[in-house]
Amino acid sequence: MVATTFATSSFPSPLLMKFLVIFITLSGIAFGQSSKQTIDLLDRELSHWNVWMGIPHKTVKIPGLPQSDSEDCTLGTPLGFNNDPLGVFSVIEENGQPVLKITGQIYGGLTTKEEFENYHLSLQFKWGDKKWAPRLKRQRGSGLLLHCVGPHGAFWNVWKRCLECQIQEKDVGDFYAIAGTKADLPAIIPKDSKRPVYQPGAPVRTIGGDAQHGTSEEKPHGEWNTVEIYTIADKMVYVVNGHINMVLLNTRQNTPQGEGPLTKGQIQIQSEAAEVCYRNIRLTPITDFPKEIKASL
């Protein structure tokens, strides 16, 4: 750093002051304003994340540990914080860029170290081939858990209280209210189902369980899908491969004092018995929704 000394008898000239303002502004630190740069959340060291591992299925063998007798992976003692003996979460390289590989062998959550609010989150995912008990006969699943708060293990001894954007074959963009959360959304109830389905312009309903996504398309197996989340205050929008397919309003949670807002928290990515990869996990702070997103609210 080069020190600059001004004459003590005079204030810096207007020209010099203009130069300093431009320099500081371009540096992204003008007058205490934080720069709103995109954060790349995926690196080779997973430096933005911690791991919480749940309860292994009884078919999983871990060297040095007694074999679990759990059939449903919700009963027993979780492996816990940053204890991933089988490398369920790892980073590989594909075409010169880091890719998060999740084997799915044990239920778990990759959790950001920081909380976030008012942001645009974008990522891509694709399915691998392997599946594990207890979901061998079900479609491949993972999940993007948003506004995660409270202790690990609040749901199924694995995941935190949160709002979930479902990542599951044919169901990407479904909404799940996890461990005491709620949201309102425009939805219809089909005659042949009791499950609400998001539909723009439909009556607004309170959802404390789950709701099916609206119109969107998923890529064929093994191809990359793009999922985006836009959230400001108590509103959240899911976008799958360019299609808005879920809008949440009045996002909130149950507390000892009653319902309260849920507008920020950590982000978790699930391991849920299926092999899946993620890349380009990027978060950009925002202060307003883009026009096309705002039109859906």
Rg of the chain over Cα atoms, rounded to whole angstroms, equals 22
* Domain containing residue 156: 36-294
pLDDT of residue 9: 37
pLDDT of residue 6: 31
25, part of any domain: no
pTM: 0.87
- Distance separating alpha carbons of residues 29 and 213, to the nearest angstrom: 40
31, part of any domain: no
Q: Which residues pair with 279 in a beta bridge?
A: 124
- Distance separating alpha carbons of residues 24 and 32, to the nearest angstrom: 10
Question: Over the chain, what is the mean pLDDT?
Answer: 89
18, part of any domain: no
143 close to 166: Cβ distance less than 8 angstroms = yes
238 close to 213: Cβ distance less than 8 angstroms = yes
1, part of any domain: no
Cα torsion 208, 214, 220, 221 to 10°: value is 0
Six-digit token pair at 111?
Answer: 């959790």
Q: Which helix (H) or strand (E) is 178 found in, with range?
A: strand 175-178
Kindly report, residue by residue over 47-81, the tens digit of the pLDDT: 999 999 999 999 999 999 888 887 888 888 999 99
22, part of any domain: no
- Distance separating alpha carbons of residues 47 and 161, to the nearest angstrom: 23
261, part of any domain: yes
Residue ranges of the chain with pLDDT lower than 50? Answer: 1-35
154, part of any domain: yes
30, part of any domain: no
- Distance separating alpha carbons of residues 123 and 283, to the nearest angstrom: 9
- For residue 201, count other CB atoms closer than 10 A to its CB: 6
**Total tally of structural domains belonging to the chain:** 1
Kindly report, residue by residue over 163-181, the tens digit of the pLDDT: 999 999 999 999 999 999 9
Q: Where residue 277 sits, what CATH number does that domain have?
A: 2.60.120.560
pLDDT of residue 211: 98
